[in-house]
Structure 1
Amino acid sequence: MSTEIAEILQRGADGGRITTEEALLLYTEAPFHELGEAADAVRRRRYPEGIVTYLIDRNINYTNVCVTACKFCAFYRAPKHKEGWSHDLDEILRRCAEAIDLGATQVMLQGGHHPEFGVEYYEELFGAVKREFPQLAIHSIGPSEIGHMAKVSEVSIEEAIKRIKAAGLDSIAGAGAEMLPERPRKALAPLKESGERWCEIMEVAHGLGLESTATMMMGTGETNAERIEHLRMIRDVHDKTGGFRAFIPWTYQPENNHLKGRTQATTVEYLRMLATARLYFNEIAHLQSSWLTTGKAAGQVSLHMGVDDLGSIMLEENVISSAGARHRSNLHGLIDMIRSAGRVPAHRNTLYEHLSVHWTPEDDPTDERVRSHVSSIALPLVEST
């Protein structure tokens, strides 16, 4: 290991800021174990009790109709396609009630860019969920949906955000980020807003009091430099607003989409990205790994790469699973992933507040019904195995 890399790792481990160029150097050349050790030093300083959190939530898709036609997406259907659908409000509320019965504290309402769904649709949707289930946090949509609804309703981004926030939206998902740099974004989603516009909408949302997460999709042919540039664009927004709660990278899934798996990120690349992100995002509190796309083994290893959150048990997930993500877990399995990595599991809410800490196995929840469910939302719910 070079003296330069050792110095950057030590500075990052100590909480110092590293540059974008240094992040690229670490991502591509730092020894794997030393990179992970430095990132985990950041985690230990932030969370000295060794707590790793998880969430119980449900992703509820209100429509699969979308005009954006992203090449990596296996979920959407074009307008008037015979397989397109939209769920009515009663069905969405029914799914919310089921989620609460299983201990969910959050719902993520997701859908395509439906050509007829403007701000008014989301006001009705969020308002109904909040009236019926005020205990549920609505952590939903992303800058892409906000930009689309504003265009449909012919209002400004600021007005759209103010209205959906007033209707009940609690925070914004990092959805639609995929790859923010121009070249890979145009290749993946030429009809979607630019990465710069995605960041601008996030800035407006943060300024209006809506915090969010930030995401990244790896493995669609982007270069290492473009991956790090994606991080830079996110950090620039956070430097201005302080509005990102967590960073959540995930890996492209190759089934049933136009890319057809021509390029994919390896597990090692993914783990290196987690560690690099933990060192680079010194001011972003939480780092979440995606066991849904990388598997339980990688999810557990990620807990030694600076990760402090394993995300959700996901009572329902349809978008990524449509493209081939088949990793499932019940609540006991997720807790075991955390505990067997030498960490302390804790059930959290959307704000990352601890609802219960499972200091010993005797503290673990006992509801056997809480498990992942991944299948098309167009089909009746079935019991997972």
Structure 2
Amino acid sequence: MIRSVDDVRLIDPALAPVAEKVIAGERLDGDEGLLVATTLDLLGVGRLANLVRERLHGDRTYYNINRHLNPTNVCVASCKLCAFYVPWREREEGWTYTVDQAVEIAARDVDESVSELHIVGGLHPKLLVEYYEELFRALKQRFPWVHLKALTMVELDFLAKASRLSLEDTIVRLRDAGLDSCPGGGAEIFAPGVREQICDHKTDGGRWLDIARIVHRAGIRSNCTMLYGHVETAAERVDHLLQLRQLQDETGGFQCLIPLAFHPENTELDHLPPTGGRLDLQTIAVSRLVLDNVPHLKAYWIMLGEKVAQVALEFGANDLDGTIVDERITHAAGGTAGTGMARQRLEDLITEAGRIPVLRDTLYRPIEVETIVA
């Protein structure tokens, strides 16, 4: 139990004022966030992040039974960070599913235990709002109990422009067709200089935040993300978190942050090294300490690997994501953690870490499934 700065057992004395604020439940500023992001006292930072995590959630660690669905990998954005996309000029080498095909692919892995479909894909200029309306309605008709978490802010922006609709009208139409919430992808790092290097054809950071604001005002909750471990600096990571925190103060619409470890293999940035465990764990901890108003923090096992994700449960994370199945984006970039995980394995990882597994739905409501089928 941490009651004083001495209990944190800091190695870096510069962290003492930060520890005092965290113990008192006070908000960190940007300079303090940068200190937490750059100190060599990893365990001290981890203890502080764990204190916040346990205040919010105790030992509860969430996971869900979910499936991924990527309607297309054809994309006009050509982001240097991405190994998943097939450019429009080579579209015959990729895939683009009809609505019927997409529903049948989902049906391979969806049963009554599955509570969520995570639906993202490339920016395909021929898949307009009518396609996604038809897809969402078809999925809801086939699997009425499943929550549709679909379309990043970047996809929504592109879809509205391609369909020649306002963003507000696009979101309302998709919501009425069955869109339940939005994932947090495409945020990457908000700093313009970074985006110029890794995703210069994608929605910029300010626009991403504007779209999230509109989504939240439409009554749709979303996640948010931060892609780290490429060309960004620690200061740019902290700034990214502060911008998310500012919007969350305004809308309250973010329910979870997912720090995403960059995988460079098979991308145009494959000269960069992959992230190491230290950066992974320190980023998780900084995220929990700076982003104090987003309730949940995910250790995304697909990108971190099972072992680092498990340790991250002591560094501020309270969620491991889910069973996933058919994850293709990280896998295309050389991810080695697999494309899915059994429910029992997720529970074992959580229990071995000394935490209590809680099966949840997308909105973090605990649910019960009598039979483990995933």
Instruction: Give the TM bin, normalised by the shorter chain.
Output: over 0.9
Runs of at least 4 residues off by over 6 Å: none
Does the 8 A contact of 2:244 with 2:291 survive in 1? no
2:35 is equivalent to residue 18 of structure 1: no
Query: What are the equivalent positions in structure 2 for 1:93-132 lying under 5 Å apart?
Result: 93-101=103-111, 103-132=113-142
Does the 8 A contact of 1:215 with 1:250 survive in 2? yes
The alignment's TM-score, normalised by the length of structure 2, stands at 0.92
Query: What are the equivalent positions in structure 2 for 1:221-370 lying under 5 Å apart?
Result: 221-328=231-338, 329-356=341-368, 366-367=372-373, 370=374
> Structure 2: how far apart are the matches of 1:30 and 1:74?
32
Displacement of 1:335: 1.3
With over 3 angstroms needed to count, the CA separation of the structure-2 counterparts of 1:39 and 1:94, relative to structure 1, is same
Deviation digits for residues 219-248 of structure 1 (CA, Å, limit 9, x no counterpart):
111111111111112111111101100000
Partner residue, 2:7: none
The alignment's TM-score, normalised by the length of structure 1, stands at 0.90
Deviation digits for residues 234-288 of structure 1 (CA, Å, limit 9, x no counterpart):
1111111011000001111122111114243221111111111111111110010
2:180 is equivalent to residue 166 of structure 1: no
> Structure 1: how far apart are the matches of 2:103 and 2:24?
47
Partner residue, 2:66: 57
Partner residue, 1:382: none
SS at match of 1:135: coil
Gap runs ≥5 in structure 2: 1-10
> Structure 2: how far apart are the matches of 1:185 and 1:18?
26
Count of equivalent residues = 361
Does the 8 A contact of 2:263 with 2:335 survive in 1? yes
Amino acid of the structure 2 residue aligned with 1:323: A
> Structure 1: how far apart are the matches of 2:24 and 2:330?
36
Displacement of 1:301: 0.6
Deviation digits for residues 114-134 of structure 1 (CA, Å, limit 9, x no counterpart):
011222221111122122222
Of 69, 76, 98 in structure 2, the residue corresponding to residue 88 of structure 1 is 98
Does the 8 A contact of 2:213 with 2:247 survive in 1? yes
Does the 8 A contact of 1:14 with 1:42 survive in 2? no
Partner residue, 1:73: 82
Deviation digits for residues 82-117 of structure 1 (CA, Å, limit 9, x no counterpart):
312211212221233333327211001111100112
Displacement of 1:72: 1.4
With over 3 angstroms needed to count, the CA separation of the structure-2 counterparts of 1:30 and 1:73, relative to structure 1, is same
Amino acid of the structure 2 residue aligned with 1:70: C
Does the 8 A contact of 1:118 with 1:148 survive in 2? no
Gap runs ≥5 in structure 1: 358-362, 371-385
Amino acid of the structure 2 residue aligned with 1:78: P
Amino acid of the structure 2 residue aligned with 1:255: E
Partner residue, 2:3: none
Query: Mean alpha-carbon deviation: is it higher for 87-96 or for 198-207?
Result: 87-96
> Structure 1: how far apart are the matches of 2:22 and 2:108?
43
